[in-house]
Amino acid sequence: MKRQLTLAIGAALLGMTAQAFAITDTETNASIPFNLANPGARSMGMGGAFLGLADDSTAAYTNPAGLTQLVTPEVSAEVRHTEYSLPYVSGGSASVGPFNGSGLNVSNADSSQNNLSFLSVVFPHDRWSFAFYRDELVRFNTDFSSVLTGEPVTDVGTAFPITAHANLKIVDYGFSAAWKASDAISLGAGLSYYNFDVNTSINRYGFAPAFTDTSIPLNRQSQFGSDNDIGVNLGARFVLSEHFSAGLNYRRGPSFSYEATSATLADVFANNDGTFTPTPTAANVATDLKNVRFKVPDEFGAGLSWHPTDALVVNFDADYIQYSQLTRGIQSLFGNDAATVSQLSIPNGTEIHLGGEYTFTQMSHPFSLRAGVWHDPRHSVEFKADPGTANLGAVGLATLFHGGQGPQNHVAVGLGWAFAKFQLDAAADFADVTDTFSISGVYHF
């Protein structure tokens, strides 16, 4: 059944690794790459499995209870390079009654980002330790354009060409403290101050031959603002035996607010030959949302570390992440009612991490090899119900959010080299939509 959409269907930034944010129904919110994985090249090389071990300065974020294992003050830093391959809906075919988007075309846009992802300093004492750290939860900046020729989405409408910009940054400044309650039990807690900045926009354009000028933007959806909030991090570590240790962690994510608008940028006039001519006009804001909520999801984690020998360690982590918090109270930039946008959701998910490290302890400067795998569940926005045939807004959202990222399996490798006062680590993590490379160093003083 063919329907013409009142909502322009645009190509979108859909489905990156790591976590999503979806607090308005513009498609740039389909997925944003949170760095919820544990910091440090050493942890990355073991597939992110580190909760039960937590024996270096990155424990300040990962599991603060692990800080009691450190015996000398140390400073650490990590630099990451991340390459994204972002799928977006670029046309094709879909049908309604019931909705079937299997014929929609999904293309990819590539981008990359370099950042100082983690920095910490730790001061250990006899039975307690404390640390200060800076962690970049998100640093993402990209510009993207679909081909400005238009492409029909048969049985649904037409894919309007877009230019998109996304700039999102969340930085966490934290303080963690740990106490060794006994030889077998350590407890830790942390308090974090988060800074948040967002600036995303989508301009939609007419397409040839229906529009006589395809260079004039017809409308724009924008999100912008800055905010801050406090987060809490709790951890525990247990020495179960000579060969086993375990860790628990809870991290409450911050909540921010920002503004979002949808504005008309051109008047569109119909011509006698069936074409349309856009004429630029002063921006007419049709929707102005003053208090849009952005909630970083809460996490619960548990990990087990096995040390069969002095040279070998094997780690297993399971992290339950409440992604559904991101879509609670979602708001619409397109005039959709609450019942319609409530069908946009992200399911909670569990990350599974498994990895190990083998150290050549007989060397004067011990050298380590690491490898790991982990499963990243789907956490991009989906339209969960059948949109039917009467609600054009629902059909539009089902199409816009059709091409999101599914679950991903990651493979990681790494190495490390330890000296008297310095350790250097490197790692790489590979998946279908992102590749991440990390270098980190630790200096003991």
Residues constituting the chain = 445
pLDDT score recorded for residue 139: 81
pLDDT exceeds 60 at position 359:
yes
Nearest of 314, 421, 61 to residue 441 by alpha carbon:
421
pLDDT exceeds 60 at position 198:
yes
pLDDT score recorded for residue 381: 77
Let me know: does 68 contact 129? Beta carbons within 8 Å.
yes
- pLDDT band at residue 232, thresholds of 50, 70 and 90? very high
pLDDT digits (tens, 9 = 90+) for 147-166: 645 455 555 555 678 888 88
Please state the pTM of the whole predicted model: 0.86
Least confident interval from 148-157, 204-213, 265-274, 378-387: 148-157
Of all helices (H) and strands (E), which one includes residue 392?
A: helix 392-400
In order of their start, the domains of the chain are: 9-206+218-266+284-444 (2.40.160.60)
In degrees and rounded to multiples of 5, residue 371 shows phi and psi of -155, 155
pLDDT exceeds 80 at position 134:
yes
Nearest of 246, 250, 247 to residue 233 by alpha carbon:
250
Residue 199 makes CB contacts below 8 A (sequence gap 6+) with: 165, 167, 168, 222, 223, 224
What is the rounded distance in angstroms from the CA atom of residue 320 to the CA atom of residue 326?
Answer: 15
314 Cα distance to chain centroid: 27
Let me know: does 32 contact 19? Beta carbons within 8 Å.
yes
Please give the span between the terminal C-alpha atoms of the chain, in angstroms, as a whole number: 71
DSSP 209: T
221/11: higher pLDDT: 221
The amino acid present at 14, given as its one-letter code, is L
10/247: higher pLDDT: 247
Greatest mean pLDDT among 83-87, 219-223, 411-415 lies in 411-415
Let me know: does 209 contact 242? Beta carbons within 8 Å.
no
Least confident interval from 36-40, 77-81, 94-98, 283-287: 94-98
379 phi-psi bin (left φ>0, alpha ψ -120 to 50, beta other): alpha
In degrees and rounded to multiples of 5, residue 284 shows phi and psi of -110, 105
Nearest of 98, 258, 254, 242 to residue 174 by alpha carbon:
254
pLDDT score recorded for residue 89: 67
Strands 312-321 and 299-306: antiparallel
pLDDT score recorded for residue 33: 54
* Locus of tokens 């993402």: 140
- pLDDT band at residue 236, thresholds of 50, 70 and 90? very high
pLDDT score recorded for residue 173: 97
pLDDT score recorded for residue 384: 82
pLDDT score recorded for residue 120: 96
What is the percent of the chain with per-residue pLDDT over 90, rounded to a whole number? 53
pLDDT exceeds 60 at position 402:
yes
Report the mean per-residue pLDDT for the chain: 84
* Locus of tokens 């607010």: 257
Region 7-13 average pLDDT: 32
pLDDT score recorded for residue 31: 53
pLDDT digits (tens, 9 = 90+) for 300-350: 999 999 999 999 999 999 999 998 888 888 888 877 888 888 888 888 889
Nearest of 416, 298, 311, 318 to residue 40 by alpha carbon:
416
* Locus of tokens 């800076």: 134
Cis peptide before 254 (omega within 30 of 0): no
* Locus of tokens 């339950």: 320
Q: Cite the beta strand spans of 206-254 per DSSP E.
A: 217-239, 244-252
Buried b (16+ CB within 10 A) or exposed e, 204-228: bbbbeeebeebebbbbbbbbebebe
Region 272-282 average pLDDT: 92
Q: Cite the beta strand spans of 296-401 per DSSP E.
A: 299-306, 312-321, 344-345, 349-360, 367-376, 382-383
Least confident interval from 26-35, 121-130, 367-376, 416-425: 26-35
- pLDDT band at residue 42, thresholds of 50, 70 and 90? very high
23/409: higher pLDDT: 409
Residue 120 β-bridge partners: 76, 133
pLDDT digits (tens, 9 = 90+) for 80-122: 998 877 666 666 677 777 887 777 777 666 778 888 999 999 9
